[in-house]
Structure 1
Amino acid sequence: MIEWFSWVQAGIAILVGVLAVILGLAGKKPNDYTMGGTALVGVLLVAQLVVALLAPAFGNNATGSVLEYYTYLVSAILIPPAAISYGLVDRTRWSTVVLGVACLAVAVMVLRMQQIWAVQVA
């Protein structure tokens, strides 16, 4: 796992998450910014999957449990599409809040994945 990429990914997820929660609590329905931001978070997670699959071939091995890492990663990849689907079905301000909470959850998971990959000793 590339450390700077995980920090950028978490930062974008936090930014999108906070923006969506604020817009949702202000009464705004899901729009291109909140949906697109959540989609961007999902695309970055797919890129993270590619990086994680290729990293061991270049000598960047996980120090923690590889199974736990991939469980976090696959679970995180499922969150943005589920939130976007909910946002498309339920066009209320609360679906905007759901998009934000989903992005914030992904940010926490990405930071935990970074810990599993680089900090823990198996």
Structure 2
Amino acid sequence: MVEWFTFAQIFIALAAGVLCLVLGFAGRPPSDVSMGPIALVAVLLIAQLVTSAIAPAVGNHPTGSLLEFWMYQVAIVLVPLLAMIWALVERGRWSVVVLGVSGLAVSVMLYRMWIIWTVQGA
């Protein structure tokens, strides 16, 4: 994993999550303001997927469990996508809260992936 890219994603996911939580608790239905940041998080996660696939080939090997890392990688890509589908189907204020929770969950999962990649001993 590329450290600066990972921490940039964590910051963006946190900001998107907090924004969506504020909008959801304010009673706003899903809109471009709430869906856009989560869509950006999803695009960045797909870029992370590609980066993580290429990194070992250029000498950036994980120190932790590769299986655990890739399980996180697959799950983390699904979280914002499924939250966006929920928001498109339900169209209520609570779906925006779900978008916010997905942003916060992604930030925690990204941090855990970084720990698996860099800190743990194999």
TM-score range, shorter chain: over 0.9
C-alpha RMSD of matched pairs (Å): 0.5
Which residue is equivalent to 2:118? 118
* Aligned-residue offset at 1:20: 0.2
- Structure-2 separation of matches of 1:119 and 1:84: 32
Which residue is equivalent to 2:66? 66
* Aligned-residue offset at 1:74: 0.3
* Aligned-residue offset at 1:14: 0.2
- Structure-1 separation of matches of 2:70 and 2:45: 12
TM-score of the superposed pair, with normalisation by structure 1 = 0.98
Q: Secondary structure, in 3 states, of the residue corresponding to 1:28?
A: coil
Which residue is equivalent to 1:52? 52
Task: Report the AA paired with residue 15 of structure 1.
Answer: A
Which residue is equivalent to 2:4? 4
- Structure-1 separation of matches of 2:33 and 2:2: 27
Work out the number of aligned pairs and report it: 122
Which residue is equivalent to 1:82? 82
Structure 1's unaligned 5+ residue stretches are: none
Structure 2's unaligned 5+ residue stretches are: none
Q: Write out per-residue CA displacement over residues 50-104 of structure 1, whole angstroms, 9 at most, x where no aligned residue.
A: 0000001110000000100000010000111100000001111100000000111
TM-score of the superposed pair, with normalisation by structure 2 = 0.98
- Segments ≥4 residues shifted beyond 3 Å: none
- Structure-2 separation of matches of 1:96 and 1:114: 27
- Structure-2 separation of matches of 1:111 and 1:19: 20
Which residue is equivalent to 1:33? 33
Among all aligned residue pairs of Structure 1 and Structure 2, give the percentage whose two residues are the same amino acid.
54
